[in-house]
Amino acid sequence: DASSSGKVCTRFDLEKETELRFEVEAGEAVDQVDLELQTGMAEVFGSELNRNKKYTFGPGSKIAVFTWQGCSVNLYGKPEVAYVSKDTPMLLYLNTHAALEQMRKQAERENERGPRVMVVGPTDVGKSTVCRMLLSYAVRVGRRPTLVELDVGQSGVSVPGTVSALCIERPADVEESFSVQAPLVYHFGSTTPGTNIKLYNKLTSCLAEVFSQRCEVNRKASVGGCIINTCGWVKGSGYQALVHCASTFQVDVVLVLDHERLYNELKRDLPHFVRVVLLPKSGGVVERSKECRRDARDEKIREYFYGFRGLSFFPFSFEVRFSDVRIYKIGAPSIPDSCLPLGMSQDDTQLKLVPVTPGRDLTYHVLSVSSVEDGDEDARKSIVESPVCGFIVVTNVDTQTQVMKVLSPAPRPLPRHTLLIMDIRFMDMK
Ligand code: ADP
């Protein structure tokens, strides 16, 4: 069966409480796959589909179309896989939402705060997806929850190497997830918390403080609570970072996906009033290879500069004189305790601002533009704890003329001149 677009059309009739899972092949020259709801009702990760509307999914997409009542859908194009599954944990996820909603109702009645929820588990168990569903369900019943994104490897909100918070005001877009308006973003600088765990914990605390302040002045935000997405690193310092997060955010609920030992450890180590719940992962969640994850990170940076399908941005390229900016790396390489200056601890070195002398090796690095005011020397101390206002990529460095060329979402001049270097590189292939 061929559709008007010339793509092959496949029809799927879904019984109630089943889901159609499909994947679009990854790669450059791959055709997108369109999805269209014909009859009945269905949702993609908590967002309802409109009937007779085509939703387009690009290379690498892994999607589940779930229906509570039954439906029929068409797929146009050639997905890498497409099958219907009856075995999904969706009912458990919906029950989780119902329980959180009860807590919000109670918070409303008793003038308390709503649930603060931390979602944990190893990589590729569907943490981000569960967060997305719980947030979309909450907005659909009129709540205004906050998404806290602590996954520095695969951020759903900003570029990799950052942690962030975002107030959710409408359900996730079926194709593009949450529209990213004015998130609060902090520079971490690398894709795993382990490169600087002190900084990671510090930034988690910063986000918790800002969120708590907002809850004090905004009743809806307070009742809505937050859903915290975390990294898949659940051992050693990674585990300690989860415990730290639970304490600094004063979480009420921890959802552990598919990891019984982690569940038992958290039950043992968190205060007894924290509800720790073990949930199964969905059989649909697909394990992603290292390359797949790297591609996803690259794509996220590309989107930041160039936009996505429906919305194109046109970034700028211009020269910046070394003398006009101050570039720092956060954290000095650790040195043996015995070599530290008197009165200094390892903690201090991990949060220290180290000036970076621009050289050729700066090329392709992503730099965060700190929001601290230029020339505010007192602010120097707080650069680490200040949000960022955007990102640039160094595309060329000329040490002779002391000038570097950058890719920027906005035209010259840079809004601020304090830059923080990331481990992350981006090669612009456009
Ligand atoms: P994590 O945050 O734990 O690393 P994600 O939530 O990002 O995992 O899920 C990994 C991938 O699996 C994503 O591409 C997501 O779209 C996909 N996915 C999640 N749930 C399902 C499902 N039920 N069916 C098909 N794909 C799914």
**What is the ipTM for the molecules in this complex?**
0.98
pLDDT value for 4: 55
pLDDT value for 286: 85
Q: State pLDDT tens for residues 289-323.
A: 888 899 889 999 999 999 876 778 899 999 999 99
Rg (CA), the chain: 23
Whether 204 lines ligand 1, by a CB cut-off of 6 Å, is: no
Whether 127 lines ligand 1, by a CB cut-off of 6 Å, is: yes
Whether 116 lines ligand 1, by a CB cut-off of 6 Å, is: no
Mutation pick for ligand 1 pocket among 18, 22, 129 (CB with most ligand atoms within 8 Å):
129
Q: Partners of 13 in the beta sheet?
A: 72
Q: What is the rounded distance in angstroms from the CA atom of residue 323 to the CA atom of residue 337?
A: 35
Question: Residue 3 above 70 pLDDT?
Answer: no
Binding-site positions for ATP read 19, 62, 124-129
Whether 125 lines ligand 1, by a CB cut-off of 6 Å, is: yes
Question: Residue 21 above 80 pLDDT?
Answer: yes
Q: What is the rounded distance in angstroms from the CA atom of residue 225 to the CA atom of residue 118?
A: 11
Whether 326 lines ligand 1, by a CB cut-off of 6 Å, is: no
Question: Residue 68 above 70 pLDDT?
Answer: yes
Which pTM value belongs to this model? 0.94
Ligand 1, closest atom to CA 122?
3
pLDDT value for 388: 96
Whether 286 lines ligand 1, by a CB cut-off of 6 Å, is: yes
For the chain, give the percent of residues with pLDDT over 90: 81
Whether 124 lines ligand 1, by a CB cut-off of 6 Å, is: yes
Q: Report the candidate in 176, 157, 155 with the shortest Cα–Cα distance to residue 166.
A: 157
Cα 287 to ligand 1 centre (Å): 8
Q: What is the rounded distance in angstroms from the CA atom of residue 110 to the CA atom of residue 108?
A: 6
Q: Report the candidate in 367, 286, 412 with the shortest Cα–Cα distance to residue 23.
A: 286
Question: Residue 170 above 70 pLDDT?
Answer: yes
Q: Residue 154's Cα: distance from chain center in Å? A: 6
pLDDT value for 381: 60
Question: Residue 37 above 80 pLDDT?
Answer: yes
Q: What is the rounded distance in angstroms from the CA atom of residue 362 to the CA atom of residue 371?
A: 21
Ligand 1, atom 25: nearest CA belongs to which residue? Answer: 284
Q: 156-165, 180-189, 264-273, 334-343: which range is least confident on average?
A: 334-343
Q: 12-26, 70-84, 165-179, 387-401: which range is least confident on average?
A: 165-179
pLDDT value for 311: 78
Q: Report the candidate in 65, 79, 86, 67 with the shortest Cα–Cα distance to residue 23.
A: 79
Ligand 1, closest atom to CA 282?
23
- At residue 136, the 3 state secondary structure works out as helix
Whether 416 lines ligand 1, by a CB cut-off of 6 Å, is: no
Per-residue pLDDT, averaged over 221-238, amounts to 96
Q: State pLDDT tens for residues 102-159.
A: 999 999 999 999 999 999 999 999 999 999 999 999 999 999 999 999 999 999 899 9
Q: State pLDDT tens for residues 320-357.
A: 999 999 999 999 876 677 777 777 776 678 898 999 99
Binding-site positions read 19, 62, 124-129
Cα 127 to ligand 1 centre (Å): 8
Mutation pick for ligand 1 pocket among 63, 285, 294 (CB with most ligand atoms within 8 Å):
285
pLDDT value for 305: 94
